[in-house]
Each structure stands twice: as structure tokens, then as C-alpha cells.
């Protein structure tokens, strides 16, 4: 079965203009084009569009999305990962809603009791708020000056600056994933050239020495959230980058 571009636009709530743009950049070509010049899409194309929209929700740029989809082997595994992330976010938002609802109830009760505020369990005020990652906590504890410098730079970045930086980071992760999948050793000059770009990118925020750079690489592996960000590009990427960072630190920073 095939659907016209108008059908797909209606179902996905993506404009026909956007779908045509996705075709023009090679991100989502139609299954075929009719004699009337209209684009038609089949089930596989709808599944690819769903993947595109999911990654757009996660803030990934179009160029990086295409690279991920074109190199993707197990589409079902990727969908399951997206599903788990969405369920986790849903649960977090449900918890936040309950937290606010409980606070409203307690404040309403205190107002009815002549304004005497009584919060039964103050720690419950913060249920559902995201905690800093283990990696953030480790950097803040081990390198407080670096942490402060990073926050100062982040505070000066516009939304466009942040989006550009995120695209650059994602693109670099994809390039390293391609090296890993090809079996390229982490000490290979091409891999180390990418690591030099990675290190220079870190230096926009702070300048780690060899030990700090190795420590940062280890947090990519040890911190569950950061490891998931790497491994959603390619399974094992966090370990591969950590190992490449060790080689770079010993060769260039020691």
C-alpha cells in the first residue's frame, strides 16, 4: 500500500513542503513518483519518517539524522531504545505532576488553617526533578575551576550557538562510530585526528591535562546517561572513544 504526500502530511502533521525538503536532501525520498508528478510513500518510508521525527524531538540535526539512519543496521533495536527513553520521560513528568499536585493540596490546606504553612515532608517538594549526572558531579568535585569556567561559557551561548555545538558533537560521534564499525584501531592517525578536534572542542570550555582528559573519557563509560548518549549512535562507542582519549592523552598531553 502507498500513501500520497498529502496523506503522509495529514497523518504525521508534517507539512508537504517539509516532506519535499526531506526528499531534496536525500533524507526521505518517496518510494516512487507517479505520472502526475506526485510523491508516494510506502510503509518503510513511514517508519523512516517516524525515526526522523523522534530524533528531531531529541534535538539531532538533519545531517546527523541521515548519517544515523543510513548506517543503521537494526531498526527495531533503535526503536526500542527510543521507546524506553520516552517511557522514562513520561514517568518523570508524571512524578513532577504528582509533586505539584501534592504541593497545591498542602498549601491549600495551610491557607484554610489561617495561613499556617505545613509541608509534611519537605524532601517531597523535589520529586521528579532531574538530578545532575554522575559525570557532572564528578567534574564539579574533581575540577571545580573547570566546572565554573564551563558554566560561564555556557551562560554566554545563545540558543543557536548551543544547537550548532550539539550538531558538531553529534557529527563527531558519528564519524568515530564509523571508524569503530570499520575496525579502525584507536591509535590510527585518522582516529587521533578526530580526538584532536574533540580535545580542541573541550578547550573552548576548559583545558584538561592528561589525567583530566582520561578522567573525562572514563565518565563517558561510567555515567549511565552519557554512555547511553554514545551507545545510541553505535553500541560500544563510549568505550571506543574512552580508549582513543587515553591514547591521545598519553601521546599529546603527558
Mean pLDDT, range 125-140, rounded to an integer: 51
Q: Is 127 or 98 the better-scoring residue by pLDDT?
A: 98
The answer on 212 and 223 residing in a single domain is yes
Between 194 and 78, name the one with better pLDDT: 194
Scanning the chain, the segments in alpha helix (DSSP H) are: 5-12, 16-24, 43-57, 62-71, 75-112, 134-142, 144-156, 159-181, 189-202, 210-222, 224-231, 237-248
Query: Do both 212 and 161 map to the same domain?
Result: yes
pLDDT at 136 over 60: no
Residues 140 and 235 grouped into a single domain = yes
> Which domain range does residue 9 map to?
3-71
User: Residue 204: which CATH number?
Assistant: 1.10.490.50
Tell me the pLDDT band of 229, cut-offs 50, 70 and 90.
confident
Q: Are residues 126 and 174 in the same domain?
A: no
Are residue 7 and residue 120 in the same domain, yes or no?
Answer: no
User: What is residue 72's predicted lDDT score, i.e. its pLDDT?
Assistant: 57
Number of domains in the chain: 3
- pLDDT at 114 (0 to 100): 61
Sorting pLDDT into bands at 50, 70 and 90, what band is 139? low
Kindly indicate the confidence band of residue 73, based on its pLDDT and cuts at 50, 70 and 90.
low
Strand-pairing partners, residue 3, are 41
Within 8 A by CB and 6+ apart from 172, the residues are: 194, 197, 198, 201
Domain end, chosen from 30, 54, 71, is at 71
Find the mean pLDDT for residues 162-174: 80
Is the pTM value of this prediction over 0.75?
no
Same domain, 109 and 166: no
Do 239 and 190 lie in a common domain? yes
> Which is nearest to 176 in space by CA: 236, 228, 98?
236
CATH number at residue 32: 1.10.1660.10
Average pLDDT over residues 35-47: 90
Quote the mean pLDDT of the chain.
Answer: 79
Looking at the fold, whether 198 and 92 belong to one and the same domain comes out as no
Do 64 and 156 lie in one domain? The reply is no
Does 196 lie in the same domain as 106?
A: no
Confidence class of residue 194 from pLDDT cuts 50, 70 and 90?
Answer: very high
* Domain shared by 177 and 161, yes or no: yes
Whole-angstrom distance, CA of residue 79 vs CA of residue 72: 11
Cα–Cα–Cα angle for 74, 76, 80, rounded to 5 degrees = 120
Amino acid at each position: 500500500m502507498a500513501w500520497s504526500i498529502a496523506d503522509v502530511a495529514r497523518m504525521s502533521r508534517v507539512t508537504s513542503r517539509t516532506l519535499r525538503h526531506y526528499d531534496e536532501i536525500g533524507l526521505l525520498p518517496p518510494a516512487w513518483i507517479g505520472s502526475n508528478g506526485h510523491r508516494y510513500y510506502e510503509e518503510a518510508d513511514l517508519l523512516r519518517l517516524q525515526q526522523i521525527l523522534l530524533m528531531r524531538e531529541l534535538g539531532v540535526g538533519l545531517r546527523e539524522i541521515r548519517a544515523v539512519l543510513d548506517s543503521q543496521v537494526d531498526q527495531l533495536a533503535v526503536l526500542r531504545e527510543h521507546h524506553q527513553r520516552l517511557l522514562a520521560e513520561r514517568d518523570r513528568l508524571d512524578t513532577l505532576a504528582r509533586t505539584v499536585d501534592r504541593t497545591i493540596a498542602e498549601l491549600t490546606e495551610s491557607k484554610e488553617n489561617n495561613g499556617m504553612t505545613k509541608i509534611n515532608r519537605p524532601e517531597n517538594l523535589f520529586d521528579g526533578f532531574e538530578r545532575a549526572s554522575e559525570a557532572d558531579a564528578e567534574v564539579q568535585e574533581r575540577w571545580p575551576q573547570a566546572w565554573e569556567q564551563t558554566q560561564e561559557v555556557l551562560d554566554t551561548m545563545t540558543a543557536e550557538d548551543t544547537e550548532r555545538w550539539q550538531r558538531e558533537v553529534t557529527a563527531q560521534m558519528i564519524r568515530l562510530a564509523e571508524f569503530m564499525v570499520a575496525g579502525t584501531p584507536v591509535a590510527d592517525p585518522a582516529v587521533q585526528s578526530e580526538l584532536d578536534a574533540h580535545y580542541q572542542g573541550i578547550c573552548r570550555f576548559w583545558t584538561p591535562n592528561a589525567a583530566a582528559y582520561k578522567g573525562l573519557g572514563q565518565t563517558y563509560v561510567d555515567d549511565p546517561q552519557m554512555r547511553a548518549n554514545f551507545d545510541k549512535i553505535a553500541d560500544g562507542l563510549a568505550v571506543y572513544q574512552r580508549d582513543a582519549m587515553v591514547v591521545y592523552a598519553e601521546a599529546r598531553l603527558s
